[in-house]
């Protein structure tokens, strides 16, 4: 068997999109320390291959703007800003987990909060990546009414990422929810336009349209299986490729 050390990554620069729910682990709410540590170890594996890594993290484990706005009667823009703050908490937790295993990390925020995170400046972000630092983008785009999926597509294009890796709880895109419909079939490859036409729940339509316009591929894969980030980066045929 070929040694992993001799294998070469097929991507030079990636953007990993993590949902806030991914940080729950076995908890019902909040951030699970063991899950953060596991993600950090997997990200380090990829960085050690010479891959430049950026992340966009959601905040659904703490606060989901579109859900809570209905529950509490919040104005949608206020709820969205609260959701953005939740992503900052997640970003700081991931930064701590990465730096505990000696991975230099920068949290860059779309909302100004100089005491805890750097403001997002594209040139500075590019420089951090070139120096081998992992970047965690938080606070979405800094604007209400936009999801962290759209933020991922935007930041990926801005930093000239080769691919977006969309981490989910299933091993790709299916014709239907595989948890509720046993007959659901997995797609190995899809075109952007087919994702839009079939209304497949991969990323929101704004994010998919942006990726389609700029020919930015997306790989949807199962994050719960340890080592999958590395497998994707090494070009193994797991998950679903949207291009």
User: Which pTM was predicted?
Assistant: 0.93
Nearest residue to 35 (alpha-carbon basis) of 22, 18, 53, 16: 22
DSSP E strand stretches across the chain: 13-18, 52-57, 105-109, 118-119, 134-138, 163-168, 173-174, 186-187, 189-190, 218-222, 240-242
Nearest residue to 54 (alpha-carbon basis) of 139, 125, 146: 125
DSSP collapsed to 3 states, 138-186: ECCCCCCCCCHHHHHHHHHHHCCCCEEEEEECCCCEECCCCCCCCCCCE
SS3 83: helix
Residues with Cβ within 8 Å of 191's Cβ and at least 6 positions away in sequence, in order, are 242, 243
Phi, psi of 142 (to 5 degrees): 90, 0
**CATH number attached to the domain at 4-242:** 3.40.1160.10
Ordered per-residue pLDDT tens for the chain, 243 residues: 444 456 799 999 999 999 999 999 888 899 999 999 999 999 999 999 999 999 999 999 998 766 777 777 889 899 999 999 999 999 999 999 999 999 999 999 999 999 999 999 999 999 999 999 999 999 999 999 999 999 999 999 999 999 999 998 889 999 888 888 888 898 999 999 999 999 888 899 999 999 999 999 999 999 888 999 999 999 999 999 999
């Amino acid at each position: 068997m070929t040694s992993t050390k001799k294998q070469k990554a097929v991507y030079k620069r990636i953007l990993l999109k993590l949902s806030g729910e991914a940080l729950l682990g076995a908890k019902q709410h909040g951030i699970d320390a063991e899950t953060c540590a596991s993600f950090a170890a997997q990200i380090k594996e990829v960085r050690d291959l010479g891959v430049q890594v950026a992340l966009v993290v959601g905040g659904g484990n703490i606060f989901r703007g579109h859900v809570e706005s209905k529950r509490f009667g919040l104005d949608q823009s206020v709820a969205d800003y609260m959701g953005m703050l939740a992503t900052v908490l997640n970003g700081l937790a991931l930064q701590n987990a990465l730096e505990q295993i000696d991975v230099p990390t920068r949290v860059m925020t779309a909302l100004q909060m100089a005491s805890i995170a750097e403001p997002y400046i594209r040139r500075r972000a590019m420089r951090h990546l070139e120096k081998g630092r992992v970047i965690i983008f938080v606070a979405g785009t800094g604007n209400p009414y936009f999801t962290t999926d759209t933020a991922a597509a935007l930041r990926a294009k801005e930093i000239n990422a080769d691919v977006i890796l969309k981490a989910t709880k299933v091993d790709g895109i299916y014709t239907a929810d595989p948890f509720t419909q046993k007959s659901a079939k997995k797609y190995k490859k899809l075109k952007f336009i087919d994702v839009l036409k079939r209304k497949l729940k991969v990323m929101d339509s704004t994010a998919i349209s942006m990726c389609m316009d700029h020919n930015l591929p997306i790989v949807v894969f199962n994050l719960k299986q340890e080592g999958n980030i590395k497998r994707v980066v090494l070009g193994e045929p797991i998950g679903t490729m949207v291009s």
